[in-house]
Amino acid sequence: MLYREAGQFKTTYSADQQIFPILQDRIGFFVTMAVAFIAIPMFAGDYLTQTIFIPFLVLSVAAIGLNLLTGYAGQLSLGTGGFMATGAFAAYKLATSFPDLNIIFVFILAGLITALVGILFGIPSLRIKGFYLAVATLAAQFFLLWLFNKVPWFTNYSSSGVISAPPMSIFGVFVTGTEASHTAKYFFLLVLVTLLALAAKNMVRGHIGRAWMAVRDMDIAAEIIGIRPLQTKLAAFAISSFYCGIAGAAWAFIYTGSVEPLAFNIDVSFRILFMIIIGGLGSILGSFLGAGFIILLPVFLTNAPHMLGLNIPVDIISHMEVMVFGALIIFFLIVEPHGLARLWQIGKEKLRLWPFPY
Amino acid sequence: MSVVADLTDINQASVAAHARSIGDVVLSVQNISLSFGGVRALTNISFEVREHEILAIIGPNGAGKSSMLNVINGFYHPQEGKIIHKGVERKSMRPHEAARRGIARTFQNIALFKGMSALDNIMTGRNTMMKSNILAQALYFGPARKEEMEHRKFCEHIIDFLEIEAVRKTPVGRLPYGMQKRVELGRALAAQPDILLLDEPMAGMNVEEKEDMCRFILDVNNEFGTTMVLIEHDMGVVMDISDRVVVLDYGRKLADGTPDAVRANQEVIDAYLGVGH
Ligand SMILES: Nc1ncnc2c1ncn2[C@@H]1O[C@H](COP(=O)(O)OP(=O)(O)OP(=O)(O)O)[C@@H](O)[C@H]1O
Ligand SMILES: [Mg+2]
């Protein structure tokens, strides 16, 4: 009985209402935090930090954003890339127009601007669902990218259409630009992601989260108990886009340093969608698992044959990547729509009984 | 007002309602006609619902009973007629408006949120009363936390009352049918409605489960004074628990009166009781 809630009696509702009510989950959370805040910066090195951990953190934010909208509120979106682009370009315009503005405010404002754009493109969700909504959000994806490509104002009239993040610092430490160290970038992102993830977790266990899930599970019944479909869906679009916008800004400013609109094309939208399908729809933890999985899978596929002493050509490996993705997505959609997060939970339930089968 | 204060109010109300003196008309249905294309589901239906009473709507399959409840809570919009609720006249309104004005209901085919736990389902019944904004919820501090706790406390009372403590954290999709019916009743009760519409709350239950459900319905009516309109096919149950009965047949009203009067009505016997129900 390594993992159990039995015996941990909650004497007050507030104890039961904690973010991680079970002791082992709390320990797990603190161990993860210790690894993320201490072990990784000490041992990971620049290369791994830049190629694995920084993109992992950025994409986790986008995955949380999409999961709030699709996994919790049940509104399928293929516009994630477009919303990330909005965040990136909004942050760029803000940072270049107001050079004294702190990066924290730049990111928050970029998120808020993206939230407004998200609300705008969320309006059709009141009328249409599922497949048709997905098509409508696809239109958002194409329109937004077209806009940032075609209107030179967004790139400050740069001839190449590429935007580069100006050097920005926080507490005197550079987190963007060429002077920023990988460790500084990593820490900045880690704090940001931790706060955003905790906020998301709080929202989904509050009344807004219940309203989202109610609309997702049965929108008619939700309306009959007094939940307003309009406000609830638009709130989901707004908050989801806020997260995606910050993810886009972080991608452009911290991970790559400079981007063109094409960096946020439809492939990105699908990648984020695959992350939440594999990680787990309707799970904050799943957003992280999915992001980690999708980043690590190509790394694993490129290195595993070498380690096994096989000599597989690079192009075959990249085909394999696509095939493995496809197979996994079909597997999760059919067998386990709640993804890795659910498998993790089943594992925990087994542990709860272990070593006694009953 | 805090929930705890609400609770004491209810307790006082329950003392007052204990005698369950049936009060004034709270809901008046006037000349309602509803059709779907060529199908006339309701034809010129009028009846009244009085405060604190249990009104049963009976009738054969397809008589228009569920449609009548759907009209009352704003889900169907009748072509003719009007509804006067607490003195306010309306022809049609959206279901969420009806909910906010104190009309709650359960469904013939359970309409729970399958992916959520029993507790969360019941908590959604209180969503309209929860006011903390998104930022406060994201930070989960001060007022947001206090609000969540107060409503949780209220829902735990309902959970105790319906005797579903053991399954409060179970996703409702995994619960047996009878339990799901209870959770759905709990969600409706959580809204503290002044009119509760119950569409076949005992359908598909065994005798024991039916007895439990009857007890819950009578207790709610007694303790909270909640007015109820319920559809039920089991005549034994109807005769036992209702104060008044409205009989529908092919979308028309056949009779309206006390259970005994309805039982003695020749038209009702011919149309409904006579045909093997
Ligand atoms: N949404 C709808 N669209 C078309 N026809 C409908 C709709 N809802 C109800 N009807 C029709 O209206 C009539 C009354 O149906 P209703 O469901 O109200 O009957 P009921 O008395 O509740 O029957 P039961 O005892 O089987 O639940 C039926 O002929 C039904 O087919
Ligand atoms: Mg019916």
Note the pLDDT tens digit of each residue in A320-341. Answer: 878 888 888 888 888 777 778 8
| pLDDT given for residue B1 in this prediction | 36
Which comes out higher in pLDDT, residue A39 or B92?
A39
pTM listed for this prediction: 0.88
Q: Which residue of B lies nearest to A200 if distances are taken between CA atoms?
A: B138
CA-based nearest residue in chain B for residue A199: B138
- Shortest-distance atom of ligand 1 to CA B68: 18
> What is the CA angle B84-B86-B88, rounded to 5?
50
What pLDDT score was predicted for residue B24?
87
* Atom 29, ligand 1: residue with shortest CA distance: B62
Atom of ligand 1 nearest to the CA of B59: 21
pLDDT over threshold 60, residue B10 = no
Query: For chain A, which residues make up each domain, given as ranges?
Result: 44-353
Instruction: Report whether pLDDT(B8) > 70.
Output: no
Establish whether residue B60 lines the binding site of ligand 1, counting it when its CB lies within 6 angstroms of any ligand atom.
Answer: no
CATH for the B1-102+193-277 domain, from 3.30.479.10, 3.40.1190.20, 3.90.1640.30, 3.40.50.300: 3.40.50.300
- Please report the pLDDT score of residue A130 as a whole number: 81
Q: What is the pLDDT of residue B11?
A: 43
From chain A, which residues contact B within 8 Å (Cβ)? 13-14, 17, 19, 199-200, 202-203, 206-211, 213-214, 216-218, 220-229, 235, 239, 282
Assess whether pLDDT exceeds 60 at residue A357: no
Confidence of residue B111 (pLDDT cuts 50, 70, 90): very high
Q: What is the pLDDT of residues B13-44, one digit of tens each?
A: 444 444 467 888 889 999 999 999 888 999 99
pLDDT at A8: 59
Ramachandran assignment for A156, one of left (phi > 0), alpha (psi -120 to 50 degrees), beta (any other): left
**Is B77 near chain A, with CB under 8 Å?**
no
CB–CB contact B191 A226 (8 Å): yes
Question: What distance in Å separates residue A274's CA from the closest CA in chain B?
Answer: 21
**C-alpha span between B184 and B110 (Å, rounded):** 7
Residue pLDDT, tens place only, A131-183: 888 899 999 999 999 999 999 899 888 888 889 888 888 888 888 877 778 88
Report the alpha-carbon distance of residue B113 to residue A221 in Å, rounded.
8
**Domain limits of chain B?**
1-102+193-277, 111-192
Query: CB contact, 8 Å: B129 with chain A?
Result: no
DSSP output for A100-157: TS-HHHHHHHHHHHHHHHHHHHHGGGGT--HHHHHHHHHHHHHHHHHHHHH-GGGGTT
User: Could you read off the pLDDT of B210-234 as tens digits, one per residue?
Assistant: 999 999 999 999 988 899 999 998 8
Q: Whose CA is nearest to atom 28 of ligand 1?
A: B62
Put simply, the answer to whether B134 touches A208 (Cβ < 8 Å) is yes
Query: How high is the ipTM of this complex?
Result: 0.85
Whether the per-residue pLDDT at B255 is higher than 70: the answer is yes
* Ligand 1 pocket check for B105: Cβ under 6 Å: no
Nearest CA in chain A to B186: A225
pLDDT recorded at residue B273: 53
Q: Taking residues A187-200, report their average pLDDT.
A: 95
Write out pLDDT tens, residues B128-151: 888 888 888 888 888 888 899 999
Q: Band the pLDDT of B7: cuts 50, 70, 90.
A: very low
pLDDT at residue A247, rounded to an integer = 97
Quick check: do B1-102+193-277 and B111-192 share a fold?
yes
Average pLDDT in chain A: 87
pLDDT in tens, A33-80: 888 888 888 888 888 888 889 999 999 999 999 999 999 999 999 999
What's the confidence (pLDDT) of residue B2?
43
C-alpha A293/C-alpha A270 separation (Å) is 15
Is the shortest distance between the CB of B64 and ligand 1 below 6 Å?
yes
The per-residue pLDDT for B4 is 42
Which of B63-67's residues contact partners 24+ apart within 8 Å by CB, and which partners?
Answer: B63/B248, B63/B249, B63/B250, B63/B251, B64/B34, B64/B248, B64/B250, B64/B251, B65/B199, B65/B231, B65/B248, B66/B108, B66/B199, B66/B231, B67/B34, B67/B41, B67/B42, B67/B251
Note whether B269 contacts A: Cβ–Cβ < 8 A: no
Cβ of residue B42 closer than 8 Å to a chain A Cβ:
no
- Residues of B with Cβ-Cβ distance to A200 under 8 angstroms: 138
pLDDT at B93 over 90: no
How far away is chain B from the Cα of A251, in angstroms, using its nearest Cα?
A: 24
Class of the domain covering A44-353: mainly alpha
Which residues of chain B have a CB within 8 Å of the CB of A221?
107, 111-113
**Structure confidence at residue A41 (pLDDT):** 83
Class of domain B111-192: alpha beta
